[in-house]
Structure 1
Amino acid sequence: MFFGLFGKGFNKFLLKFLRNTNGNIGLLLRYVVLKNLCKSLGDNVSIQPGVFIFNPDKISIGNNVSIHPMCYIEGAGEIEIGNDVSIAHASTLISTNHQWNDLEKPIKYNKETFGKIVINDDVWIGCGVRVLSDVTIGSRSIIAAGAVVNRNVENNSIYGGVPAKKIKEI
């Protein structure tokens, strides 16, 4: 595509520049830019205004995915988002973590670790959810608003709370 002619650096600049562009033109331009930056990007993907995406080259997004405003997605440890996924407002996917085992250094200067996040098909992530590294969310699952997901989620289940726990099967 046209934006692919300018290289990854220019596309990363464009993504930042277009982050808060409203309307259909903003949706289209973010999609075109991310198509050039992401590991893979499916059809009918809606990245709403105000979404922060880092390390898109390690992020795969399936078909029919919506990511709503003010989400923060850090792909350094790799993220796979399946088909028919909705990620509601102000949610975070963070595939990194800090170690704290070097007592000679402040925690913020200890090494960073990376862990993959997998969100399978037909998942709804509610508002303000935090999905941490090394987590797989099973197909046809719902994560309740405000939950912190720090372990795997079973298929066909609703999880909620801090930390997220199984509420029921669906």
Structure 2
Amino acid sequence: MTGRESFKKYHPIIAVLGMFFSVFGRKGNLFLLKGFRHTSGKVGLVLRYVFLKNAAEFVGENVSVQPGVYLLNVQNLHLGNNVSIHPMCYIDAKGGIKIGNEVSIAHGSSILSTNHDWTDRRVPIKYNTVQLEKVIIEDDVWIGCGVRILAGVHVGSRSVIAAGSVVNKDVEPNTVVVGVPAKMVKTI
């Protein structure tokens, strides 16, 4: 049975769990999401989905957050339908992150919506102001393992970002990008 089929089959139970845990509010669900970050199996998948749905800006249907994923500032995180986020990913949505439908994020990837400024020479860079820049990942995108997507990037639909790439500029739709920094190598 595929993940979509399982989600449809158990959706009524998941919906009841969502309503039950909604009484804990956004902060309570965020606390539970962090507490169940490393829980494996189907129970972990369902609980992370329920807690994330109650804490994030928006979470669509059939979203899979695998064990060991670090999600920060989820109140600014928008996830479409059929999104999978694999182990050891780090996603910080402080500046806003919108991920469309049918997106797969392979293990060990990072998506950041913040960047340090270094214009004030009187203080160390790490204490300079933080710039917030929204990241948008459109529908039908495959993000390979170990990818880094930096603040302010827009990834077009039906794109592939090759493993180990660092994306610091927008990605055109229907393309494959690879490298550090990522460059287009072909169209799909």
Task: Find the aligned partners of 1:44 and 1:11 in 2 and give their Cα distance.
Answer: 18
CA deviations 1:111-167 (Å, max 9, x no partner) are 000000000000000000000011000000000000000000000000010000011
Correspondence 1:45 to 2:63: yes
Aligned to 2:3: none
Q: Given residue 48 of structure 2, which amino acid in structure 1 is its aligned partner?
A: R
Match of 2:154, SS state, is strand
Q: Return the TM-score normalized by structure 2.
A: 0.89
Task: Find the aligned partners of 2:187 and 2:27 in 1 and give their Cα distance.
Answer: 45
Task: Find the aligned partners of 1:16 and 1:139 in 2 and give their Cα distance.
Answer: 30
Task: Find the aligned partners of 1:14 and 1:58 in 2 and give their Cα distance.
Answer: 18
* Percent identical: 59
Aligned to 2:186: 168
Q: Conserved in 1, the CA contact under 8 Å of 2:37 and 2:69?
A: yes
Aligned to 1:29: 47
Q: Given residue 148 of structure 1, which amino acid in structure 2 is its aligned partner?
A: V
Correspondence 1:117 to 2:168: no
Unaligned runs of 5+ in 1: none
CA deviations 1:1-23 (Å, max 9, x no partner) are 11110122221110111000000
Higher helix share: 2
Q: Return the TM-score normalized by structure 1.
A: 0.99
CA deviations 1:17-69 (Å, max 9, x no partner) are 10000000000000000110111100011000000000111010000110000
Correspondence 1:63 to 2:84: no
Q: Conserved in 1, the CA contact under 8 Å of 2:21 and 2:29?
A: yes
Task: Find the aligned partners of 1:26 and 1:3 in 2 and give their Cα distance.
Answer: 15
Aligned to 2:160: 142
Correspondence 1:97 to 2:115: yes
Q: Given residue 36 of structure 1, which amino acid in structure 2 is its aligned partner?
A: N
Correspondence 1:6 to 2:24: yes
Task: Find the aligned partners of 2:50 and 2:120 in 1 and give their Cα distance.
Answer: 43
